[in-house]
A and B are shown apart, each in its own frame.
Chain A
Amino acid sequence: MKLLKELKYVESHEWVKVEGSKAYIGITDYAQDHLGEVVYAELPEVGATVEKGDQFVVLESVKAASDVYAPLSGTIVEVNEELADSPEKINESPYDAWFAVIEMSNPDETQSLLTSEDYEKICE
């Protein structure tokens, strides 16, 4: 299982990369491995607002359809359009295949995110 030290994590297997007031969101290597081949990602719309814990992305794999939850509250300011045509990127390179960028409305929420060590323990 691949983990990046510089990223933050959520128990529900999302990773978060904070850049100023913005946060990039994707799913972890562990998650993509368990989902199997991802065939479709339903991404949110730019401009939509999300609350921490909201379901904001749906991933369809050959086995199932799974919800992805927003790790932080805020407004969607960008989505990764590339995933619409090549959802396989989520399997190939999960830490590059971000779904959306959230402009945080409550940056304090980042304090509840997990470090890579904490997350690794959860996955064991």
Chain B
Amino acid sequence: MTRYIGNTNNDQEQMLKEMGYDSIESLFKSVPQSVMLKTNLDIPEAVSEMELVEKMKLLANKNCNLDDYTCFLGAGAYDHYIPAVIDHLISRQEFYTAYTPYQPEISQGTLQAIFEYQTLISELTGLPVANASLYDGATALTEAAIMACEATKRSEVIIASNAHPESIKVLKTYAQFRDITVTAVGYKDGQIDLDDLKNKINENTAAVIIQSPNFFGIIENIKDIADIAHENKSLLIASADPISLALLKSPGELGADIAVGDGQSLGNPLSFGGPYLGFIAVTKKLMRKLPGRIVGETVDKDGNRGFVLTLQTREQHIRREKATSNICSNQSLNALTAAIYLTLMGKEGLKEVANLCVQKAHYTYNELIGTGKFSSVFSKPFFKEFTVKSEKDVASLNKDLLKYNIIGGYELAKDYPELKDGWLLAVTEKRTKSEIDNFIRKAAE
């Protein structure tokens, strides 16, 4: 036992003596006997390292992994190609540290990496200021909503019901403790219902929150939604798939005041759901309301370029009671991963990834419909994810596909009961034609 906690009988005796007790029992004398545990803890006996490794291997092998399975599941987390060099770079010990980069005099490398990340996110989203990252897409969206309420001094937000259901849940959880009212807007043919939005928007609406491509994979008309929001002096928060921004007009160009999203697609492995990173970018006007930390570029006393955490006076640790956010950390290593990924891909490379996603997703969609076993649900343009209606029960269809080492799509009825037999499929650039053709054959069996 002494291997992990050096707390020998000798140590115990010495500590007790120091405190003036002669036994552990006398130390805990003030704890009532009725609440004392008098048996051993109900946990298995210690095992050897070899036994433990074996046991963990057995457990791990129960999971499906992307080396052995072909994945068509998306719904917020995507199987994109990850260049091998990323792992080598982020594993360098200068980066691979738990230490938070507060002190500019010893953290220039980390600070510069975050600065580069912010710049890349800013370019992707078309908005001038980005922070050093948030926990994930859902928290980024929620932080944006809180920021919008603070900036507009209003207390209601409207969210599209075709945004990620988990983001909506996270938003509602935060909102109930901050007296923020969350109203959902319906969808029509997969896109946000503009008439419903016009009916629900009012003078208390701080922000309209949308996702594009939305949870069904469909691209929204961001410009039209921005106009409705701005006519009402509300802000527009747009959540976006960063890969899609290589092809589509950026949220900033289309009138969004705040862009958010999940950066997992940018070189981060799926890892059973995390850790991921949330990105957030805002207009210059909202810069001082941005939650979390921002790295800024400056010069030192000799005029050399350097990097520091900036706008810190508002950070939670200084003005805690006034802070609009309790975020006091960021996903540095994941953000670094995203920065390396975007740098490696470059503008053209990212476009190619996005284009391949579009081509392959549309090919898959058409071929699936062509089998006669699946039908269209929506008729609007989609990016790398789409919805079809299956003839067969979706849960059993997914189960059958697993037998062929294929991970099927998302069962939409879990969140949208009206979309019974709705199957949400994601096709990334990683899927080869033969994988797709094989999938279609098996799915139509």
Residues of A participating in the B interface, judged by any CB pair closer than 8 Å: 40, 42, 58, 60-61, 63-65
User: Does more than half of chain A's interface fall in helix, strand or loop, or is it mixed?
Assistant: strand
Q: How far is the CA of A60 from the CA of B311 in the complex (A)?
A: 9
Q: How far is the CA of A36 from the CA of B314 in the complex (A)?
A: 16
Q: Which residues of B contact A40 (CB under 8 A)?
A: 288
Tell me how far the C-beta of A65 lies from the nearest C-beta in chain B, rounded to whole angstroms.
4
Q: Which of A40, A61, A63 has the most CB of B within 10 A?
A: A40
Q: How far is the CA of A105 from the CA of B313 in the complex (A)?
A: 33
Q: Which residues of B contact A65 (CB under 8 A)?
A: 313-314, 318-319, 322
Tell me how far the C-beta of A118 lies from the nearest C-beta in chain B, rounded to whole angstroms.
30
Tell me how far the C-beta of A59 lies from the nearest C-beta in chain B, rounded to whole angstroms.
10
Q: Which residues of A contact B313 (CB under 8 A)?
A: 60-61, 63-65
A60→B314 contact, CB < 8 A: yes
Q: How far is the CA of A40 from the CA of B313 in the complex (A)?
A: 11
Q: Which residues of B contact A63 (CB under 8 A)?
A: 313
Can you list 15 pairs linking A and B with CB atoms under 8 Å apart? Answer: A40-B288, A42-B288, A58-B322, A60-B288, A60-B313, A60-B314, A61-B313, A63-B313, A64-B313, A64-B318, A65-B313, A65-B314, A65-B318, A65-B319, A65-B322
How many chain B residues have a CB neighbour from A under 8 Å? Answer: 6
Q: Which residues of A contact B288 (CB under 8 A)?
A: 40, 42, 60
Q: Which residues of A contact B319 (CB under 8 A)?
A: 65
Residues of B participating in the A interface, judged by any CB pair closer than 8 Å: 288, 313-314, 318-319, 322
Q: Which residues of B contact A64 (CB under 8 A)?
A: 313, 318
Q: How far is the CA of A60 from the CA of B318 in the complex (A)?
A: 12
Q: Which chain B residue shows the least CB distance to A58?
A: B322
Q: How far is the CA of A64 from the CA of B288 in the complex (A)?
A: 14
Tell me how far the C-beta of A106 lies from the nearest C-beta in chain B, rounded to whole angstroms.
24
Q: Which residues of B contact A61 (CB under 8 A)?
A: 313
Query: A60-B314, A64-B318 known; 13 other A-B pairs, CB under 8 Å?
Result: A40-B288, A42-B288, A58-B322, A60-B288, A60-B313, A61-B313, A63-B313, A64-B313, A65-B313, A65-B314, A65-B318, A65-B319, A65-B322
Q: How far is the CA of A65 from the CA of B322 in the complex (A)?
A: 10
Q: How far is the CA of A42 from the CA of B153 in the complex (A)?
A: 14
Tell me how far the C-beta of B297 lies from the nearest C-beta in chain A, rounded to whole angstroms.
15
Q: Which residues of A contact B318 (CB under 8 A)?
A: 64-65
Q: How far is the CA of A65 from the CA of B317 in the complex (A)?
A: 12
Q: Which of B288, B313, B319, B322 has the most CB of A within 10 A?
A: B313
Tell me how far the C-beta of A48 lies from the nearest C-beta in chain B, rounded to whole angstroms.
9
4 tightest A-B CB contacts, nearest first: A65-B313, A60-B313, A65-B319, A64-B313
Q: Which chain B residue shows the least CB distance to A65?
A: B313
Q: How far is the CA of A58 from the CA of B322 in the complex (A)?
A: 11
Tell me how far the C-beta of B140 lies from the nearest C-beta in chain A, rounded to whole angstroms.
24
Q: How far is the CA of A20 from the CA of B280 in the complex (A)?
A: 47
Q: Which residues of B contact A42 (CB under 8 A)?
A: 288
Tell me how far the C-beta of A46 lies from the nearest C-beta in chain B, rounded to whole angstroms.
14
Tell me how far the C-beta of B235 lies from the nearest C-beta in chain A, rounded to whole angstroms.
16
Tell me how far the C-beta of A44 lies from the nearest C-beta in chain B, rounded to whole angstroms.
11
Tell me how far the C-beta of A43 lies from the nearest C-beta in chain B, rounded to whole angstroms.
12
Q: Which of A40, A42, A61, A65 has the most CB of B within 10 A?
A: A65
Q: Which chain B residue shows the least CB distance to A61?
A: B313
Q: How far is the CA of A64 from the CA of B314 in the complex (A)?
A: 8
Tell me how far the C-beta of B147 lies from the nearest C-beta in chain A, rounded to whole angstroms.
14
Q: How far is the CA of A55 from the CA of B30 in the complex (A)?
A: 48
Q: How far is the CA of A65 from the CA of B314 in the complex (A)?
A: 7
Q: How far is the CA of A65 from the CA of B321 in the complex (A)?
A: 12
Q: Which chain B residue shows the least CB distance to A59?
A: B313
Tell me how far the C-beta of B104 lies from the nearest C-beta in chain A, rounded to whole angstroms.
14
Q: How far is the CA of A40 from the CA of B312 in the complex (A)?
A: 12
